[in-house]
Amino acid sequence: MDDLSKFLQGFHRFKQKYFADDKALYERLTQEGQKPSTLVIGCCDARVDPALITDCAPGDMFVIRNVANLVPPREVGPTNQGVSAALEFGVSVLNVERIIVLGHAHCGGIASLMKDDMGTASAGYLARWIGIAEPARQRVWEEFADKPIEEQIRACEMASILVSLNNLLTFPWIRERVEQGQLNLHGWYFDIEQGDLLGYHPPSGEFISLGGK
C-alpha cells in the first residue's frame, strides 16, 4: 500500500468513526468557530504531533509548527513573517490564554546546529532559520563544553525552548498581556524515547517531568 492509499483509508476510518461519533462537536465548531484557549508552537517533525501526545480534541489548541519549534524575535519590515502572523492571530484575534513552546528529543534541526552540519542547506533557508537558536548553542558550548555531543544536543534542545520563550516577549502585544496576567508562557519538552513530558520550572531553571505516575 502506498502512502496516498494509506492516508485515504485513514480518512475513511476518521469519517466513519471520529466524525460520526463527534458530529455534534464538528457542528458546534462550524457554527461558533474555533475558540482554543491554548496556542502551541511545535516542531514539524513527523514524530511529534502536539494534539496526539496531549490527546486533544478538535478545537482545543491552535498549533504553529516549524523546524525546531522556533520563534523568531520581532522584526519590522516587509518580510514574510509566517510565525509572527500566526502568533498575532492566536493572541490578538483568538485571545488564547497560554502559549506553549513544545520542543522534543532527537530534533534534527537542533542536531544540525550543534554539529554545524546543514549539508546542502548550509546557504539556504534552513541554516538562516536554525540560526535563531544560536544563543542556545552558545550557552551549551559554555556550560557543556566537556560533555558528549549527545548531551550537548539535548541541552540545546531545551535551551532553544527558552530562546523562543524570550523571543515571544519581544512582541509588544504578547509582553503586555503577560505583564497584565492575561497570558501565560510555558516551555515543554517531549522525550520521545521515554514517552515523558517535561516542563520548564523557572525557580529551579530546570525541566521537570509533568507526567506524574
| pLDDT tens, position by position, 1-47 | 688 999 999 999 999 988 988 899 999 999 999 999 999 999 999 99
Tell whether the model's pLDDT for residue 186 goes beyond 70.
Answer: yes
Q: Domain count of the chain? A: 2
45 is in an annotated binding site: yes
Do 6 and 48 reside in the same domain of the chain?
Answer: no
Query: What's the pLDDT at 118?
Result: 62
Do 131 and 93 reside in the same domain of the chain?
Answer: yes
Do 124 and 19 reside in the same domain of the chain?
Answer: no
104 is in an annotated binding site: yes
56 is in an annotated binding site: no
| Range of the structural domain that residue 28 is part of | 1-33
The CA distance from 21 to 175, in Å, is: 40
Do 28 and 121 reside in the same domain of the chain?
Answer: no
Q: What is the grid cell recorded at 32?
A: 461558533
201 is in an annotated binding site: no
Tell whether the model's pLDDT for residue 121 goes beyond 60.
Answer: no
Do 119 and 22 reside in the same domain of the chain?
Answer: no
The CA distance from 211 to 213, in Å, is: 6
The CA distance from 202 to 70, in Å, is: 19
Do 1 and 62 reside in the same domain of the chain?
Answer: no
Domain CATH code at residue 45: 3.40.1050.10
Do 163 and 64 reside in the same domain of the chain?
Answer: yes
Instruction: Please name the residue that has the C-alpha cell 528529543.
Output: 105
Distances from the Cα of 52 to the Cαs of 22, 152, 155, in angstroms? 17, 28, 25
Q: What is the mean pLDDT of the chain?
A: 93
Do 65 and 147 reside in the same domain of the chain?
Answer: yes
Using alpha carbons, select from 38, 115, 100, 37 the residue that is nearest to residue 69: 100
What confidence category does residue 194 fall into, taking pLDDT thresholds of 50, 70 and 90? very high
Tell whether the model's pLDDT for residue 119 goes beyond 80.
Answer: no
Taking residue 29's Cβ as centre, other Cβ atoms within 10 Å add up to 15
Query: What's the pLDDT at 77?
Result: 66
From first CA to last CA, the distance across the chain in angstroms is: 39
